Amino acid sequence: MLVDVGAPPLPVVVPVSAVNASWFPRPYTPPPLPSPMDVAVQSVVDGAVISWTRAALQGVLTLVEIAPDVSGEPGAWTRAALTEESSHQLTLPAASRWVRLRTVLHGRTSAYTTPVLASRVVAPTQAEVQQAQDTADHADSLTQPGSGVQLGDQRNLMPVTVASTRSLWDGLTLSATFDTGSPATVTLSASAATLRVGSATVSYAASSTNVTQARDTTARYYGYYLDEAWQGGDRTLNVTTNVATLADTDGVVWVGEFVVVIGASGGGSGSGGVGGGGGRPPGTFEDLIQ
C-alpha cells in the first residue's frame, strides 16, 4: 500500500570540500645561547689569563679554544678547557696563541666570540739576571733578599734624610700630671702638632693616656703613635718604658719622651720633655716633670 503524505522532495546535498592540512606539529626552536661577553687577556710570565663574563644561565659552561698564529691569522683550533669559571690561565709556548670562547649548555652551543691574540711575558733566565746585575749601576742592583732592594750608597736618598733632620715636630708640647694616690695615677699628654717630614707634613690631634707609678720613683716614658699609612688625625697615645719598642714596629711615629719624678706624697704637674720624630735620638736632653 502506498501512502502519500505530501512531503516535499529531499534537498540536494552538496559534498563537503576537503581541506588539506599537515598533521605534523611545528617543532619549537629555542632562542640562540648568548656568547661570553667582555673577553679580556692579561699577559703573565710564561702564559696569559683569559677572563670573561659568563652567560647568566644556570649550569652554563664556557669552552675555551686556542689556535696558533699563522701570519696574523688563527690556524687550526684545538680545545683548551671547558670550565664553569669565568677565567682561565693558559700556559703558552714561546709563540702567541689565538683564543676564542663559546657558551655550552645541555649540549647546545653559542656562536664563537671574536678571536683575540694572547701573548706571554717571557721570564728572564738566571744568566740574563746575573748579567744585568753585573753591568748595571750598583745603585740599581736587586740583591737583598729581605727588602728586595739594596742602595748603592746613601746619595740615592733625599738629602734631608741623610744629611739633615729627617723629621721634627712643629707645635708639640708634652706635659704630665699625677694625683695624690699611692701608687699615683699619671696622665701623660701631647698637644696637637704637625710632624714635618721634608716637603711633606702630617698633622695629629691632641692625645693623652694614663699610667700608674709608685711613690718615691723616677720613670722615663716613651710616647708614640701607630700610623703606618701616614693618616694623622686622632691617634692613641701609646707609652712604654722600653725604648726598643720604638723600633719594633714599622708604623711607629715617636711622639716624645717623658721623665716623671714622684715624691713620697702629694700630686704634681709639669711640662717639657724630649720631642720625638726623627730629628733627635732619645736622651738628647730631658726636663724633669715633678
Task: Report pLDDT digits (tens) over 231-264.
Answer: 999 999 999 999 888 888 888 999 988 889 998 8
**244 φ, ψ to 5°?**
-65, -25
Q: 97 lies in a domain?
A: yes
Compute the distance between CA of residue 66 and CA of residue 41 in angstroms, rounded to an integer: 13
The residue among 214 and 22 whose pLDDT is bigger is 214
Residues 112, 130 within the same domain = no
Q: What is the pLDDT of residue 284?
A: 38
Residues 172, 268 within the same domain = yes
Instruction: State which of 15-19, 64-68, 93-97, 122-126 shows the largest mean pLDDT.
Output: 64-68
Instruction: Mention every residue, 6+ apart, whose C-beta is less than 8 A from residue 11.
Output: none
- Find the range with the poorest average confidence among 92-96, 139-143, 285-289: 285-289
Average pLDDT over residues 42-56: 88
Q: 93 lies in a domain?
A: yes
Residues 187, 239 within the same domain = yes
Task: Report pLDDT digits (tens) over 173-183.
Answer: 999 999 999 99
- The residue type of 36 is P
Residues 96, 151 within the same domain = no
Q: What is the pLDDT of residue 238?
A: 93
Compute the distance between CA of residue 28 and CA of residue 133 in angstroms, rounded to an integer: 69
Q: 151 lies in a domain?
A: yes
Q: 19 lies in a domain?
A: no
Q: 53 lies in a domain?
A: yes
Q: Which of 118, 147, 177 is the last residue of a domain?
A: 118
- Whole-number average pLDDT of the chain: 82
* Run of H or E residues at 52: strand 47-53
Q: What is the pLDDT of residue 268?
A: 74
What 3-state DSSP class applies to 87? Answer: strand
Residues 262, 200 within the same domain = yes
Q: What is the pLDDT of residue 285?
A: 37
Residues 172, 282 within the same domain = yes
Is 279's pLDDT higher than 60? no
Angle subtended at Cα 92 by Cα 87 and Cα 94, rounded to the nearest 5 degrees:
155
Q: Which of 60, 90, 118 is the last residue of a domain?
A: 118
Number of domains in the chain: 3
Q: What is the pLDDT of residue 146?
A: 61
Residues 184, 98 within the same domain = no
Q: 255 lies in a domain?
A: yes
Q: What is the pLDDT of residue 139?
A: 46
User: Is 280 within 8 Å of 254 (Cβ atoms)?
Assistant: no
Residues 114, 145 within the same domain = no
pTM of the entire predicted model: 0.48
Compute the distance between CA of residue 2 and CA of residue 136 in angstroms, rounded to an integer: 136
Q: 213 lies in a domain?
A: yes
Q: What percent of the chain has pLDDT over 70?
A: 80
Q: Cis ω on the peptide bond leading into residue 183 (within 30° of 0)?
A: yes
Residues 180, 133 within the same domain = no
**What cell was used for 160?**
734631608
Compute the distance between CA of residue 124 and CA of residue 128 in angstroms, rounded to an integer: 6
**What cell was used for 70?**
699563522
Q: 32 lies in a domain?
A: no
Residues 199, 281 within the same domain = yes
Task: Report pLDDT digits (tens) over 144-153.
Answer: 556 666 777 7
Average pLDDT over residues 32-37: 91
Task: Report pLDDT digits (tens) over 83-97.
Answer: 989 999 888 877 889
Parent domain of 206: 168-289
Q: What is the pLDDT of residue 20?
A: 75
Residues 252, 180 within the same domain = yes
Is 136's pLDDT higher than 70? no
Task: Report pLDDT digits (tens) over 182-231.
Answer: 999 999 999 999 999 888 899 999 999 999 999 999 999 999 999 988 99
The residue among 19 and 54 whose pLDDT is bigger is 54
Residues 147, 228 within the same domain = no
> Domain with 95 in it: what CATH number?
2.60.40.10
